[in-house]
Structure 1
Amino acid sequence: MKTKRNTKYNPDSPSAISVLQDIAVVVFSLAAVLFTALLFYRDVNKTLERSDKIPVATVSYKYKSVQRKFLDRSVWDRPVQYSPVYNGDIIRTAPLSEATINFPDQNVINVGANTMIQIFKPEQKDETDVQVAEGKISVQTTGAAMTVHSNNASVNIEKDSVLHMQKLEAEHDSDSSIDVLRLSVEKGTAELSKIDDGSTNAGAAGSNYSTQGEILTEGTVVNTETFGYEGEMTSDRKTENEGAIRRFVSVISPATGTKILNKSAERKAVSVPFKWYSTFADNSEMIFETSRSRDFSQNVRRVSVTGLKELTVDEGSGTVYWRLYSAEKGPKDVSSDSGKFTVLAATPPVLLEPAPDRRYAYKEVIPVVRFLWKGNEVCSSYLLEAASNPDMKNAVAKQVRSESISLVLPSDGTWYWRLTPIYASEDAANRTPTPISVFYIEKQKNFAPIEQLAPGKIADTAEGKSVTFSWKNVNEVKKYILRVSKTEDMNNPVLERSSDINYYELKNAAKELPNGTYYWAVEGLDKNGERLTSSAASFVKTRDSEVILRSLFPPESYVLADTLCLDTRFTWKTNLQGEQRFQVSATPDFSSPAIDIKAQGSGIEGIMLDRGDYYWRVVLKNEDETFHTPTKKLTIASALPRPELIGVDDSVIVRPDVKTTFAWTAVPLADYYQVKITEPGMDSVPLYENLYITSTEVKMPLQSISEGQYVIHVQAFAAATVTSSRRYSYAANKTFNLNHLRPVELLSPVRGASISGVDAALNPGNLEWSSVAKPVKTRLVLEKVGKKGSIISKSNPAYTEKLPPLDAGTYRWRVTAETEDGFDISSLKDGTFTVLPIPPLKKITVSFPAENQTFDANFFKTNRNIVFRWKRNAEATHYLIKLYSAKKQKIFEREIAANEVSVGGNPDDCSFVFTELAKLSRGTFYVDIRAQRRLNNGILFQEGNASVRYFVIDLPQTRKIETDDAGVLYGR
């Protein structure tokens, strides 16, 4: 019986073999993936080379890469830099990529971005044919002519010419599908023709259109908009069906990608002239832009060039991108033109060796002359010329890539030399040599004595030190003999050594030359061992104990505050005996020391120096030699700049539970600051003090300080370091009034004030309030008690607001306010005041007539009027006069201006002449006189109480007239 095998996986008991198998599968899979990716990468970036064809050019690229396809292949590859180009190859550039194709005949094609061309160079032909499928190219024919094709147009570019070609797509709204070819000749000549039969129409600079075989000269720009159109030509050489001319602008020079050399030694900006051709109207706004970034996002310089065809821009070193376009169409329209140029810093070489007027001496063999100069990174090589005449005829010339070369010139005498930098982007005709420098090679019968350099008069041989004997080199000397003797005549030398170079190091010198006095000399031998020259005997004293003379403080390049100079001690250490002198000079050569004084011991102080740079040393003289410490630089510095307080006003407001911030400007070199707050006065005790603040602000609680006037002091300090003493600045002082934050205070009218009704109406006055802190949100409200609404409700009022005329009643007012940091400082209580009623004018005093005065017949026999008199009221502007009968029937009323009732003799008396006596009759009457106060507009403002005076008219009573009976009249 067969049993079924259990194949179910049990994760709880995996075997070791299965785990290893899983790991092996994972590793193998990862290896396969990595290997496949590597093959893919190599395949994508593979550069193909051919052995069955001869290269016709080389291609190099910038900013990304280019692609190439052979004529008989269907695969694109990515050539490396300076890869060969074969006959029939297609070259294609990607966006933001550029390529340069160099031919053996020195012709160059610069290929712009998004461009595809095909190159044909058969072996039996000297000229190169280039087919442009799309994009933009620049052709420079230095060695031979070249032909460029695009669609049915052919351009033959003559030798020594520069042509720019751009192929533009046809406009979307055009009926023609033929692309537009834009040509511009920067230099030389070219011939534009048509490949097949038919007419050729091209819009050219200087003429509207040209026919087949048109010669294009320097400065010509052609836009082949109707190229290839089959149709008859009109009398003005335009096709019958031609529409409007395509508007475009084309820069003739400089060519895109041009490298411009800036040969200014001062690295000034170089002037780059632009020249262009435009078919836009002269009044069309044209914009020219330059930028240091390809997308024109940085350092954009924009200028309007409306009506211009030329422009010069000044640019420093680096790559500059430019574009020229119509303001109406924009920079991305096909009518625009763009490109770039690179300014290269090509400073002239500086000749270093031989130095001007240097002399080389020899006896038999002309010495080797080492030429040395400082060049620049742009230069590819240098042409060195040396001649025996200033006209540089028959010169010895060498072209080198380095910045030095050694030459043996053919003869002695006076020699002139110069250097010509060679740049790859510059024609030979434009190369500029350096100024000529001169040197001399002199043949001498006898050499000058050998000049000894080291050691000095004292040689330190302590602790097994070496002593180096050195001297100036002599060209023809092949071997030097060094001799050391105890006597100056150099007899019986104690040491003799030979050397092939111009120095000899005597190791463990104390063993060979123990302490004592010696003389040493050098003899030079030629290649035959014959003596050429020698040196004089030079004195030297050996000492196997170390010579100690070194300065200690201040160290080199020390900065010393001028206020501390007098208290600073200059120290040194020595084990020598002799006279010590302390010297300070403004120059490192100590030609005219500012201080030269004798010093004792190992230090000196009390030195006072003005601000500036100095050099100091200690000189020690003994019987054998003069020693001095190494020269050290010392700077006497002024005080640090004074800090400037920021935002500290004349008044400082202290808020509840909030620290007050004081800030100031940072002081260069300052390490910390000290802040104090004192009362005014020299000896005031600080109310606040912080002696170490590293930031430029401090927050301090000032709630416990009472209001008043205080001074804040801020001073900067620089801590002492190894190279600088402590320094401090002058203190910045600011006097301010300290106030604690309080609610708004209502000043006027004071609470409970009473205001005259007259003043409230005629001169209402102001509402005045104050605030310690300047509020940001305020509102002033004035209300009348018992009346709805507000009389004044104004946002952000001034501290003094004019009141309107007010009538009698009680008023209340308040100010709500808030500070910038959100504190509510509204007035705690409403202000109240009362406007009193307007009182009547003072009752006037009537002086005539007297009370109950009787006017009889005798009075009226002499007076045809009655004159009413009273005393003047100073506040009255008018008077109202009324006459009543005894039955209170008004029989007369008149209002009279105050200036019309004054009596000339006495200004305090007033009178009114009543002439309408017919209104009076026998009986009792009374007069009512009131003072009035009217405003300028005539409105009655204030009226006085009535002054009443009774009087009696006593006239004889008339008899009744009796008449006779007239009877019956006739006719009745």
Structure 2
Amino acid sequence: MRYLNNTKYVILFLVLVIIIFSKLLCLNLSSAIDGGDNPVIGELKAKYKLVQRRSDKSVVWKEIKESTPIRNKDTIRTAEYSEAILTLNGGAEIKLDENSMIRIDINDKDINVNFEYGMMTVEGEGLSNDSNLKINNESGKLKDGKVTLLKAAGKESVQAQNEKSSIFLQSPERNQYFKSDKKGSVIPFQWNSKGNVTIEISKSMSFRSTIVRKATNQNSIGINLDKGRYYWRVFKKDSVKEEYSEVRKFFVVETSPLRLTSPKDKDTIYYIDSPPFIIFSWKRGELDSSYRLLLSQTSGFEKTVYDSNTLETFLGVRNLKEGKYYAKVIRNYNIRGMEPESSPVIYFQIVKKTKVPPPALLNPSNNQEVDQKLIVNAELLFNWEDSSFLKEYTFQVAKDSQFQNIIFESKLSKNFIKEKFATDIGKSYYWRVKGKTNGGIETVFSKAFSFQIKVSEKLQLEYPSDGSSLYPEANQGVQLRWKKTNTRGYFLVEVSQDKNFENVIYSVKTANVATNILLDKPGIYHWRTTQFVENIKLSQSVINKFQISKILQSPSPIYPTKGEEVNMQKVQRLVFDWKEQGQVLYYDIELYDKEKQNKLLSKIQSQKPKMELKNYEGLHSGEYVWTLSSVYKKQDGEIVKTKPIKSSFRLILPEEQFKVPEVYTPKKLYIE
């Protein structure tokens, strides 16, 4: 037992367990891949999409390819929208529809097929007359015949057995796809013989329910169907028997229109020095597998200048020369019966420019006022629209609109600049930009924008005003406010106990024009605010002085509180009690009926820290709320009141105190 208490041995044991079971899993997986050692009884002749196999000694499913050997006691299954054709060594052929599963077990005399679910067709051509087929332990001879079975929802049905049907389906073919729009599509159905027959269409391979059932004496019919997966068959019935055709599956799919989204039709694409890189793009359809992009200089695409395949929804093309072009994209489907589809043809042209437009100016905008401190501290951003044609810009600032007196000039590769230069308050200045291409072609200068230098705005404090006396409530604080400015930035708010701000007790940065500070004791205070733009100080307000004359204390309820129960049969009196506050003029008490939408029942003033309710009129057993406020008198005689404190309680009154009188008068009075 001592080894179980040793962490080292426990960890070692767990590691060994993991290694052992990992080895066993690898052996199981490898045996699944190898397919086991049972004899080969056939092969996977053909498949569509996903087909899987599991040997009798494995629990792992493995996807298999065409020509893969099938071993005795293998289990085969197909996924949704998948099919498989198996050929056995004796000549039998087993066809599995989608979502089907079988297990094959062959001995010396019998072919045993355990049919689990789905749809299966067995054709016996080439089998000897001695061959015996057992499906789900039910025997039946195959003599160059065919048996088709369906099994869904636990029910099994035989579609045709050991005989040749006289009804042959012609169209739609097995697993054929039809394109449709949102209104549906008319699907043509055709079979070999005329006569009184009935066509059935269902969404279930077992035909538990049919969506179309029509009788006809023709050998073809057109039926409108919406998007979906369908099964169809034809049968005829006489006095002797019912004869069914085979069951075929087909699909009606809704395809979205294919069109090029870039470039747009009739687009003009410009370039300066070298041909542009053009992105051709389109939207993917649900069933699309690949695309082919074609470019030509003729609308009939007799000769293409570009032809490329891709799995993506875009292609980049470079080195197209100046000229007119036509483009289209073709989508391919990885589905039998669906032909490639082309988008509408678009037209575009590529034009080489000999002149390049000048850059468009952005900031500062024309006639904008600019604070001088932004220029002095190189924090004013000049920027303009960038251009893929231009690699270099020339930036100029001048005192006149004709740029005879240039005070600053710079060449740069970016479309912005921050620079300081000498300016005068109240004066107007002008700026402009020109560009240069990779090939050395220069644009003309842009239209000049003007800006005017101004002094920083003065910050104006609003509250508290200079010399004011305040009576804030405890824990409520004092709100400081100032006027909004036209310059975007942030404000630094400071509060000090001295006018030189050597002892700053409160400092905060804010983008708003107000802030709340908590001062916990009376005294004289000074406050100011300073505006900054990107850490550059623009302006500072004057200093206001204010006095906290008294911190108003809110009363603290003692009884009743927190939903306490007040039973008048026990206490005889309803007394409200609270903690006394100093220098209070009086207290305000209000009583509300909580069960009557907080109706006010009583309002009382008391100079003592308690109050007895003597008038019980209108009271009942139930929930109540009472509020308590302290009332003070300021030095100038103004009355101030603290925020009401709420408390709740439950009142229980004696029943006999408010018992409804019983009427003894007879219910009927007789008057002569």
Tell me the TM-score normalized by structure 1: 0.34
Higher-RCO chain (CA-CA 8 Å, sequence separation at least 6)? 2
Tell me the TM-score normalized by structure 2: 0.47
Query: Normalized per residue, which structure has more strand?
Result: 2
